[in-house]
Structure 1
Amino acid sequence: MVTEPLAGAMPVDGRSGSWTPRLALSLASIVLLLELLSFSYIMISTSMPMISAEFQTTQGAWLLTSFLIVGSVAAPLVGKLADTHGKRRMLLVCMAISLVGWLISAVAQNYGQLIVGRAIAGMMVPTLFLSYSLIRDVYPSRIVPLAVSIATSGMGLVAVPAPFLSGWLLDSFGFRSMFWFGAIVLVILGVSIRAFTDESPVRLRASIDLFGAVVLGSGLACVLVAISFGPTWGWAAGSTLAFLLGGVVLLAGWLASARVIREPLIDLNVLKQRPVYLTSLGAGFVYGTSGLFLLLLPMLAMTPLALGLGYGYGVSAEGFAIFQAPIGAMVVAGGIVVGTLVGRGTRPRSLMILASLLMASAATCVAVSSDPKLLLIAFSAAFGLGTGMAYATIPNLLFEAVPPQLQASTASIVGVMQSVFPAVLPVIAFAVLNNSYIAPLADEITQGATFYTSEGYRAAFIIVAISGIIAAVVAFCLPRHIRQVDVSGIEVRTDTTALVD
């Protein structure tokens, strides 16, 4: 490994210092950026009925799928570019591209334009791993665990005001107002991050594998399209099989090319390291577990009790805030707990195991009993605590396993897993629900909506619990003492422009 030290520059490892007003403003900007990323999911689920009615479409799922696909496909290339050209620079580039998507969505005249806007806005997805990789490089070493935990788990804060904010915007100004709101906030945060967050001084001197980026991105996109639309098209349909098999072939082709290309998009020698691939797999199950739970809970709580299905409280979208608020608060609390404990020497591996088991236990409790309401709120809050802890352990595990110069490119793979698993697990859960547990209600009662039996929700939350248990098992398989990946022979440099900028 070759480095070019710079006079007066603080080394990437061993940085000293503590909290300053500038660091606090930097972290607040990053947290709010990730809050906006979370809000972009919540606002679509809230506004989907209005958007579908406006454009007379039954393809509302594309509003989320297009966002997810572009984010997942772009992640590996963005990670590599961040390692070579600067993490803050690529963070701002992703925000600028995403801003274009928010603006297109705000002025879209037809559904196709809206989908294009949502797809471009998906460039926000890489900001998650770019944010904690940047924190690792430029924040004082002793506050990095707490800062990154607050940044990643701070996304739970949006669960408290989101129903009220989205409801107010929709009712008062229509669905376009949410896209204008997102665009304005993105501009403000871009200026703030540029002003208060330093650029990483670490660069990986390498070329960009454009062929690998195209093949890997196309393969991931095909697989995600097949997973997302398999239930609609039919799993045996030609279109589903074409996308799925095409994606598998492309991914296999990427693996073959990565073995022979001198500087592949993702270094397989790094990826095959036990701490790296297990952290990636564990992250996928954690985010899949959380995503499925948070998808099922509002359906359970908002079902009218008058239907006589043995569950449901008939709360409105705004009324659901009494369930979301405790979850969001506990997600943040879980992140602070992990940041504090890791900063004092606790290994993130053990915290990952504990967090995953807590998520699994809470899901199991909901499967057994969701009545009375206070009990369901308590179980949901416990799930939120486990979620916040699990979210915060993931970047800390990567910090142990991967050196700074490979942080963004390696974290991008974790980002892909964090997108793919939440797409796959709901497909599995709803395949079970739709095949065996649709409630036998008359059409005049349901008015076209689908309701499930209480046994169906029990089965779905058991799937959540199983996913959480698998996450705990994966974390248990991590080495007790993680050795950082050797980067001997990889040339890195300290960029003088990063420190001046």
Structure 2
Amino acid sequence: MSVPPAARTDTSSPNQGNPGKWIAATGFLVLLTELTALGLSLVSPALGAFAAKYNTTQISWMIAIFLLVGAVLTPVLGKLGDRVGKKKILVATAFAGVVGSVVCALAPNYGIMLLGRALMGASGTFVPLTFSLVRDVFPKKYRSLSIGLATNGAGVVTILGPFLAGFLIDQIAPEAIFWFYAALSLLGAIGTILFVPETPIRNRSAFDVPGIIGLAVGLLALMYGLTNISTWHLLSGRTLTYVGGGAVILLAWWMWERRAAAPFLDTRIMASRPVATVVLSSSLIVSTTMLATSYLPTMLQTSRSLGGDYGFGLDATGVAVYCIAGGITTVLAGVVVGIGSKRYGLRPFLLLSGVFAVAGTVTLALLRTQPWMPIVGFALVGAASMSMAAGAALIMQLAPAKSRGVSAGIQFAVQGVLGSAIIQAGGLILAGHVKAVAPTGAPVYSSTGWILAIGALGALIALAGIAIAALIPKQPKEAEAATETNELVAQPQPSF
């Protein structure tokens, strides 16, 4: 397939000859995407302090409500970005983060604290909105690297987050983490307003209110049920009600979208082989990295004196030191995809990320006795994070220009659901292999438990991701160029 030279029009800004503008734009967008990870890494070390302050045993909801709101709002705000402009939604979401973090810092009671955390949860939309905006307006030569930095910049938070949280909590006050978050959100919002161009692409279709409500309610019920499996137990009535009910609602939503005149999401696109295989394969591999990241601190903090054959008795700072290598490889993975995809395409990197995921989880599960072993294992898991950059960039290639925001949002929602389910599955496996209980009440798991929960489960999920990634059709560069031309040639130029 060939495309006439005159037709190969790019909608990126006419200022694309000024690299400084694009570097600044990338910097502020990456700052926003870092806030998603910071919303967790800054708060987790302070949970004990806030539990004492508010005299609550439900402190885990400071994390849960942040994740739940993010999972529900991601596709909804992505759709709004397609309609009114992704830059506008990014800025509005950043200001919501400012308000939410100030509410948290000043919260007189736990209910107000959770309200603030819910507002902060909107930051879960930063990553998909950012890479869909990058795809719309950035010059082609900067796109892949910028998307890679946006999706994998969280590696910086992996390295610095725990140290930063420790300084703010110990040297100032636990509430300082929220003032710091508010300042970064405000800086990101102002920088985005000044340096990031708005997309000219708009989706003017009618607003599918039943579709929005169905998706939001279904995701909320499903994620709420998955989050509480470890507390309610797998086959309890509440688990079956929320997980089963959410699944039924989402099925009904899908059927509605197939028949709606102006659907919230074009199911024909999402169900097509190219898009479905990218979403599912990348989500499975990303979920494997989430599994390893969730349980590695437990493995490192357990003392060997309790009778297990793993653990180093580390405190939070010690865990952060062990995770530095994984944070570095996470960032490098995004850079490698951004640079290498220009020559090799994106599909090979998605396949390679699955190989790293298998190697990383198996290493963590089997090699547990020497300090260097978990460092190497987590570094391999970090390298598997190239699945985030490759999957995001592939979706931006495949999704129609007017549906990039919602498509990216759906991809991240699927990752959230699968990741939560797989993490809970790993927890259930570990719960069945408790060999002792520490004086603090923390369980000590058997080596078989770790091998099954991290090694076997992680490797199987990653292998499934590899198998599905192998089914992704190869997309010739000329066909991609033609697709881009057909969608964008008539669009006006973006402006700063």
Same fold (TM over 0.5): yes
> 2:448 corresponds to which residue?
455
Q: Using a 3 Å threshold, how does the CA distance of structure 1 residues 192 and 432 change in structure 2: closer, same or farther?
A: same
Match for residue 434 of structure 2 among 432, 438, 443: 438
Q: Using a 3 Å threshold, how does the CA distance of structure 1 residues 471 and 313 change in structure 2: closer, same or farther?
A: same
- Partner of 2:416, secondary structure, is helix
Matched, 1:352 2:350: yes
- Superposed, 1:199-218 pairs within 5 Å as 199-218=198-217
> 1:468 corresponds to which residue?
462
CA deviation vs aligned residue, 1:108-146 (integer Å, no higher than 9, x gap)? 222222122111211111111010111111111122111
Contact 2:350 2:387 in 1 (8 A): yes
> 1:415 corresponds to which residue?
412
Structure 1 letter corresponding to 2:216:
G
- Superposed, 1:280-319 pairs within 5 Å as 280-319=279-318
> 2:230 corresponds to which residue?
231
Q: Using a 3 Å threshold, how does the CA distance of structure 1 residues 487 and 210 change in structure 2: closer, same or farther?
A: farther
Cα distance in 2 between the residues matched to 1:352 and 1:251 = 28
Q: Using a 3 Å threshold, how does the CA distance of structure 1 residues 363 and 73 change in structure 2: closer, same or farther?
A: same
> 1:253 corresponds to which residue?
252
Q: What's the CA shift for 1:84?
A: 1.5
Contact 1:146 1:339 in 2 (8 A): yes
Structure 2 letter corresponding to 1:425:
I
Cα distance in 2 between the residues matched to 1:339 and 1:165 = 28
Aligned residues: 485
Q: Using a 3 Å threshold, how does the CA distance of structure 1 residues 257 and 46 change in structure 2: closer, same or farther?
A: same
Cα distance in 2 between the residues matched to 1:295 and 1:90 = 30
Q: What's the CA shift for 1:219?
A: 0.8
> 1:479 corresponds to which residue?
473
> 1:395 corresponds to which residue?
392
User: Unpaired segments of 5 or more residues in structure 1?
Assistant: 1-9
Contact 1:202 1:405 in 2 (8 A): yes
Structure 1 letter corresponding to 2:143:
V
Q: What's the CA shift for 1:236?
A: 3.3
Q: What's the CA shift for 1:273?
A: 1.1
> 1:367 corresponds to which residue?
365
Structure 1 letter corresponding to 2:87:
R
Percent of aligned pairs with the same residue?
27
- Partner of 1:446, secondary structure, is coil
Q: Using a 3 Å threshold, how does the CA distance of structure 1 residues 488 and 226 change in structure 2: closer, same or farther?
A: farther
Measured on the aligned residues, the alpha-carbon RMSD in Å equals 2.4
Q: What's the CA shift for 1:11?
A: 3.3
Cα distance in 2 between the residues matched to 1:194 and 1:258 = 34
> 1:7 corresponds to which residue?
none
- Partner of 1:125, secondary structure, is helix
- Superposed, 1:63-102 pairs within 5 Å as 63-102=62-101
Q: What's the CA shift for 1:481?
A: 2.7
- Superposed, 1:319-330 pairs within 5 Å as 319-330=318-329
Q: Using a 3 Å threshold, how does the CA distance of structure 1 residues 495 and 488 change in structure 2: closer, same or farther?
A: closer
CA deviation vs aligned residue, 1:295-330 (integer Å, no higher than 9, x gap)? 111111111222231111112111222211111111
> 2:6 corresponds to which residue?
none
Cα distance in 2 between the residues matched to 1:288 and 1:38 = 16
Cα distance in 2 between the residues matched to 1:115 and 1:13 = 40
User: Unpaired segments of 5 or more residues in structure 2?
Assistant: 1-8
Cα distance in 2 between the residues matched to 1:146 and 1:449 = 42
- Partner of 1:439, secondary structure, is strand
Contact 1:284 1:420 in 2 (8 A): no
CA deviation vs aligned residue, 1:263-289 (integer Å, no higher than 9, x gap)? 111111111111111221123212211
User: After alignment, is 294-303 or 250-259 more displaced?
Assistant: 250-259
Structure 2 letter corresponding to 1:240:
T
> 1:197 corresponds to which residue?
196
- Partner of 2:436, secondary structure, is coil
Structure 1 letter corresponding to 2:468:
V
